[in-house]
Amino acid sequence: MFKRVLIANRGEIAVRVIRACRELGIPTVAIYSEADANSLHVRLATDAFCIGPAPSLNSYLNIPTIVATALTAGCDAIHPGYGFLSERAEFAEICDMHGIKFIGPSAKSMRKMGDKATARKTMIKNNVPVTPGTGIIKSLDELKNFAHEAGYPIILKATAGGGGKGMRVVRNDDELETNMTLCQQEAEKFFGNPNIYAEKFLENPRHIEVQIIGDSYGNVIHLGERDCSIQRRHQKLLEEAPSPAIDEKTRQEMGAAAVRAAKAINYEGVGTCEFLLDHDGKWYFMEMNTRIQVEHCVTEMISQVDIVREQILVASGEKLSHTQDDICLKGHAIECRINAEDPDNDFMPCPGKIDGYLAPGGFGIRVDSHVYAGYTIPPYYDSMIGKLICWGENRKQARRRMYQALKEYVISGIKTTIPFHQQIVEDEVFKSGEFNTGFIEDWYRRQNELKTKEE
Ligand code: MV4
């Protein structure tokens, strides 16, 4: 087992990883920026080092400083969390070169999935369904041929993109050339790689993702799916497991496809295969996230597997503690992301001091957060200040428990997304389970209609 683990992250995920290390008896080293001196991860870690000023580029993204800190502090492993350096293959390589275990997949696996056109090719070879699409586009003619073959609408994507960045929908021939040029220019500008590819565009699909874990002996298991369709501008707001749209047969097939995808690239560690589910129940691989994700908790709640613990164990060379047959999904879990944002003002970030704080509690309720009464949210990082996760025997119980827990949750002094989540979990369409990635847009349209009727 590791002697000492450095956590190259902040916020709730740093706290989550430190807790897992403490349970395993592993000393931890927190790093923090000048803006995070009062964060909970600094208090919970065995040791903590300030590594620079507030801006991420000078602190949580500063590879030389982080690696030097790890070596000075006697760490033999680094956990990257999510965001920041978690999907940077060169960071994994640098860790390797210094004899530090990067708690995640190899740089090689990361690169195979980081390039989306390569990932598509790998999936096709391994019998994982992908949408009709192209390789890297070399000419307008080639793109036009595909558009006519597949039929409009199509979507153009940067091969170095992902998570919704660098995409353009095209609905007819007239829009094709300008969109191709713009997409290539944006890809170059944002990712330093102008390559783009095209896919048939699915209107308002559901976003379903499958959690996998692999060890260094070639064993890979899946822990079922999460439904992440409730999102706004590619920011997830609420996630749940299992998906109300997936039956047992589809779960097995999608799970097996995710395991094939992971095995195809010798995947080691925790990862997620993202799929889109269309209106007639067909599903397609989109991309793989090669890190622990924010929403891993809903899977933990229904699988009883401590995913972060398992991630650390497999990174240290242990075999998976579970076989696929050991995995038994039970009940339903919902997670609400609590953000310091004003839902009435276009989700504008609202950093500031939390002057009152009382988290909900009781059976089936979990709060993962780094904040407390008196804590000041710095303006430099993302606005998520915690996650509220509720488990129930079934979806209705989980949803009702969530509603009560949201009402119990007190965070005063700043605006948060708590009141917004209360409305969502009480919404009739949400209750029915029949929603897709167009839900939030549609919800605002319905709210406006109600307001207009009142007048
Ligand atoms: C798509 C799509 C429709 N058709 N690809 C956005 C995130 C990235 N992983 C893939 N994304 C999409 N790709 C095809 N061929 C629609 C989206 C998409 C979306 C996907 C998941 C969740 C929310 C979304 C919101 C808008 C668009």
**Same fold across 132-200 and 206-449:** no
The per-residue pLDDT for 162 is: 84
pLDDT digits (tens, 9 = 90+) for 86-114: 999 999 999 999 999 999 999 999 999 99
Q: For residue 291, indicate whether it is catalytic.
A: yes
pLDDT band at 79 (very low <50, low <70, confident <90, very high): very high
Task: Summarize the confidence of residues 181-202 as an average pLDDT.
Answer: 96
Ligand 1 atom having least distance to the Cα of 284: 15
Categorize the per-residue pLDDT at 287 as very low, low, confident or very high, splitting at 50, 70 and 90: very high
153-176 pLDDT tens trace: 999 999 999 888 889 999 999 999
Which helix (H) or strand (E) segment is 264 a member of? helix 248-264
Residue 280: count other Cβ atoms within 10 Å of its Cβ. 5
Q: Is the CB of 202 under 6 A from ligand 1?
A: yes
Determine the Cα–Cα distance for residues 314 and 321; give it in Å rounded to an integer: 9
Q: Is the dihedral of CA 315, 319, 325, 328 positive or negative?
A: negative
**Residue 163: what pLDDT?**
82
Confidence check: pLDDT of 451 > 90: no
First-residue to last-residue Cα distance in the chain: 65
Domain boundaries along the sequence of the chain: 5-103, 132-200, 206-449
What lies within 8 Å, CB to CB, of 444 at 6+ separation is: none
Do residues 5 and 312 make contact, with C-beta atoms less than 8 angstroms apart? yes
Q: What is the pLDDT of residues 20-50, one digit of tens each?
A: 999 999 999 999 999 999 999 999 999 999 9
CATH entry 3.30.470.20 includes domain 206-449: yes
Residue closest by Cα to atom 7 of ligand 1: 164
Atom of ligand 1 nearest to the CA of 201: 4
Average pLDDT, the chain: 97
Task: Give residue 199 CA to ligand 1 midpoint distance, Å.
Answer: 11
Banded model confidence at residue 455, pLDDT cuts 50, 70, 90: confident
Residue 207 CB less than 6 A away from ligand 1: yes
CA neighbor of 33 nearest in space, from 4, 67, 6, 8: 8
> Which residue carries 């691989």 as its tokens?
285
Positive or negative CA dihedral for 44, 72, 23, 313?
A: positive
Q: Note whether 168 and 175 are within 8 A (CB).
A: no
Crossing angle of helices 63-72 and 89-97, in 10° steps, is 30
- Identity of the residue numbered 383: S
Whole-number Å distance between alpha carbons of 328 and 310: 16
Instruction: Tell me which of 291, 337, 399, 401 is the catalytic residue.
Output: 291
Distance 274 CA to ligand 1 centre (A): 10
Instruction: Band the pLDDT of 190: cuts 50, 70, 90.
Output: very high
**In this model, does residue 454 exceed pLDDT 90?**
no
Whether 164 is in the pocket of ligand 1, judged by its Cβ within 6 Å, is yes
Pairing of strands 28-33, 47-52: parallel
Q: Whose CA is closest to 104, among 117, 119, 122, 85?
A: 85
Q: Give the residue from 124, 115, 266 showing the smallest Cα distance to 195.
A: 115
Instruction: Summarize pLDDT for 101-148 with one digit per residue, the tens.
Output: 999 999 999 999 999 999 999 999 999 999 999 999 999 999 999 999
Where b means 16+ CB within 10 Å and e means fewer, 336-346 reads bbbbbbbbeee
Q: Which atom of ligand 1 is nearest to the CA of 231?
A: 23
Dist CA 441 CA 445 (whole Å): 6
Best residue among 155, 200, 206, 230 to mutate for probing ligand 1's pocket (most ligand atoms within 8 Å of CB) is 155
Structure tokens at 210: 């499958």
287-304: average pLDDT: 98
Which of 68, 50, 67 minimizes the C-alpha distance to 59?
Answer: 50
Determine contact, residues 384/12, Cβ cutoff 8 Å: yes
- Which listed CATH number (3.20.10.10, 3.30.1490.20, 3.30.1370.100, 3.90.1150.10) goes with 132-200? 3.30.1490.20
- pTM of the complete model: 0.97
Q: Which fold has domain 5-103?
A: Rossmann fold (3.40.50)
Mutate which of 154, 209, 286, 287 for ligand 1 pocket (most atoms within 8 A of beta carbon): 286
- Structure-token match 């804590």, residue found: 375
> What is the pLDDT, as a whole number, of residue 429?
98
CA of 263 to the centre of ligand 1 (A): 24
SS (H, E, C) 167-230: EEEECCHHHHHHHHHHHHHHHHHHHCCCCEEEEECCCCCEEEEEEEEECCCCCEEEEEEEEEEE
Is the CB of 109 inside a 6 Å radius of any atom of ligand 1?
Answer: no
Ligand 1 contact via 252 beta carbon (within 6 Å): no
Q: Which two tokens stand for residue 36?
A: 């995070």
